[in-house]
Amino acid sequence: MPIRALSLPKVIGHRGAAEAAPENTLASFREAKRQGALWVEFDAKLSADDRAFLLHDDNIDRTSNSAGPARALSYDEIRQLDSGSWKGSQFAGEKMPLLAEALSLFAQEGIQFNLELKPCPGRARETARIILDELGHLWPAAKPRPLISSFVLECLEIARDTAPDYLRGLLLEDHPANWLDLAQNLKVDTVNIWDQMATPEWVSEIKGAGYGLLVYTVNDAARAKQLIEWGVDGVFTDAPARILAAVGQ
């Protein structure tokens, strides 16, 4: 059972404020804060030259003006891409930021965060090691500890073994029968589940086992309110202001 005290928000901006701004960009994080979010969630992976940057997908097609696998590009090549115009002309020229740039913004703006380790295919081990090492060097020790999450068990094993002071979150897309064994083995602090899998019974089970519980991705205010009433600690949302209006801080 987890023994670390948790202070989780009711609302976490998913990839910033992804409904209003291009996801996983500095503009999106600023927008999340403007909407009232105290926490944001984002995805980090490695470029071909092992630089940590922010992107959810394996490919750059959906969120840039180019196409192809992210793992094939150096960060200098990634930096040349327009990663904002797909969302709106006002975001033209927005970049996929380095992890270092995002951390600098969070430290300046007092934003807490959930970093999801999102490795390119076949790159789980180096992704976790390099990103956690960079985080350890760049994130001020006096700031609140971040939450490190992943769907990739190997990434969470490395986080457990090499960065034990950080909070850890087990991301689940389905409802595995052995979820508790996984959580205990990985020594996680939170279990982060998909909204479509959330039921009152499973919420009660996770909370009864002593874990923090976060649900993704909840953009409907009534659903967010229901989940909080069931005992969920917080929800990830693309629309922080709308959900905050329903459930508060």
Could you list the active site residues?
Answer: 14, 56
Length of the chain counted residue by residue? 249
How many angstroms separate the CA atoms of 231 and 167, rounded?
20
How many angstroms separate the CA atoms of 88 and 30, rounded?
16
Contact 88, 132 (CB under 8 A): no
Strand pairing of 11-14 and 234-237? parallel
* Structure token pair of residue 62: 């959906």
DSSP structural state of residue 69: B
How many angstroms separate the CA atoms of 109 and 27, rounded?
13
DSSP structural state of residue 72: G
* Structure token pair of residue 126: 């180096």
Other beta carbons within 10 angstroms of residue 75's beta carbon come to 18
Contact 158, 136 (CB under 8 A): no
